[in-house]
Amino acid sequence: MKRLTLSALACATLLAGCAGANVENLTQAGGSLFTAATLSDANVKTLSDQSCAEMDKKNTIAPADSTYAKRLATVMGGLGNTGLPLDAKVYVTKDINAWAMANGCVRVYSGLMDFLSDDEVRGVVGHEIGHVALGHTKAAMQVAYSAAAARGLLGSTGIASLTALSSSQIGDLAEKFVNAQFSQRQETAADDYSFDLLTKNGANRQALATAFRKMSTLDGGQSSMLSSHPGSQERAKHIDDRLARQR
């Protein structure tokens, strides 16, 4: 087994982002980078709890009696059988986005809900839950932690002092997590998870494909070898193909 240097370990942790990283900075951030690579499920939950709370402070949450909150309750009602402790809320913003953290924190932006139907939002949220259930969000938090450590934003924080991170440190970490990218393999796996979850709940699976097609009007719908994500049209076709095989 080849012995990894600290810089190699940092690159492995940073995944595709390593190519654009400053190796000197990565090495100087050694202790925190090693911590990131060895974050346990409990560590990741702690960071997710903190990050979600920080994001909630920075955003306007739709009141429980609002149309958005009621719509999301309907959406989540069709996403049972996950075995995960989910806490779903709506951020009131024109941005079109949704994400979930390893602690079950699910946040859907009102801009996405304005753009998609409830069935389509359910498919997208199922996809985000898939990233949690399949362990992708744990890896994404490790990458976010590594990126923050490489920039010296976490000081010499180790595992034992994760709860001592400042609000600004947690805020930076949360932003990096929300903006993290998953690999094509992870995105496809999360799409399949959503499809299977919709199937278990007797929900509208075709809506997952229509959601991707609507999203393609925003991203051009083309898959590029330079992109880390499959194109939205490609993802829609994958769902269509799965539906066709089950007819």
Tens-place pLDDT, residues 109-133:
999 999 999 999 999 999 999 999 9
Active site residues: 128
32 inside domain = yes
143 inside domain = yes
Euclidean distance between CA atoms 187 and 178, whole angstroms: 15
163 inside domain = yes
Domain that holds residue 197: 6-245
Tens-place pLDDT, residues 40-54:
888 889 989 999 999
pTM: 0.81
Closest CA to 43 of 132, 136, 142, 182: 142
Share of the chain above pLDDT 70, in %: 74
Specify the number of domains making up the chain.
1
Euclidean distance between CA atoms 175 and 130, whole angstroms: 20
For the cut 70, the answer to whether the pLDDT of residue 3 exceeds it is no
1 inside domain = no
Euclidean distance between CA atoms 39 and 146, whole angstroms: 11
